[in-house]
Amino acid sequence: MRLLERFLQEKLQELNDAGVRLQAIGRLNELPEICQRSSSKRIASTSANSRLTLILALSYSGRTEMVDAVKSIARDALAGKLAEEDITEALFSKRLYTANFPDPDLLIRTSGRFDCRILLWQLSYTEIHVTSKLWPDFRKEDFLNALRDFSQKNSPIRREFNLLLLIFARFAFS
């Protein structure tokens, strides 16, 4: 958790200058109290930013996220707030930690690994680009290669998506 604290402290001004809104997903209540307070404070200080959203997955597991969503739906069903026919993909998506965010169009997986244990539901229609580069060695050129690969596939590319990626590339690799 010290790494998180150091990152948030060192990068907060840079995030604000770049218009990046910071968010977090996961079982945030399981973080140490000091991390909860610190991350909440920093998230609040970037809440007015709108150029890009950076989502930190903290105390997060894809399976746990799905179990939490199912438990939430089950509680409402047992309380009589939901009927069986009310349970849809859309309802399930609204119970995930990422309910307020769009599903990703592109996932870049570094280290050459094909496994992915995050955003299990949200990645079902996502293009996945796997590179053998390790994250610390991943550079702007690698990012642009991933974008080129993505753009050559049949996935629709929206202007909004391209704009967000270009802003991210400038921010992440400057």
Q: Are residues 17 and 53 in the same domain?
A: yes
Q: Are residues 109 and 171 in the same domain?
A: yes
CA-based nearest residue to 118, from 107, 127, 110, 129: 107
Which domain does 38 fall in, by range? Answer: 1-60
Q: Are residues 88 and 49 in the same domain?
A: no
Q: How many independent structural domains does the chain possess?
A: 3
Using DSSP, state whether 112 is helix, strand or coil.
coil
Cα angle 52, 55, 61 (rounded to 5 degrees) comes to: 155
Using DSSP, state whether 165 is helix, strand or coil.
helix
Q: Are residues 132 and 148 in the same domain?
A: yes
Q: Are residues 141 and 168 in the same domain?
A: yes
Q: Are residues 76 and 132 in the same domain?
A: no
pLDDT in tens, 27-70: 999 998 988 998 899 999 999 999 888 888 889 999 999 999 99
pLDDT in tens, 107-145: 888 888 888 788 899 988 888 889 999 877 888 899 888
Q: Are residues 38 and 74 in the same domain?
A: no
User: Would you state the structure tokens that stand for residue 149, as one six-digit string?
Assistant: 């690969």
Q: What pTM, to 2 d.p., does this model score?
A: 0.77
The phi and psi torsions of 43 (rounded to 5 degrees) equal -60, -45
Q: Are residues 88 and 26 in the same domain?
A: no
Stretch among 70-79, 100-109, 121-130, 153-162 having the lowest mean pLDDT: 153-162
Q: Are residues 129 and 90 in the same domain?
A: no
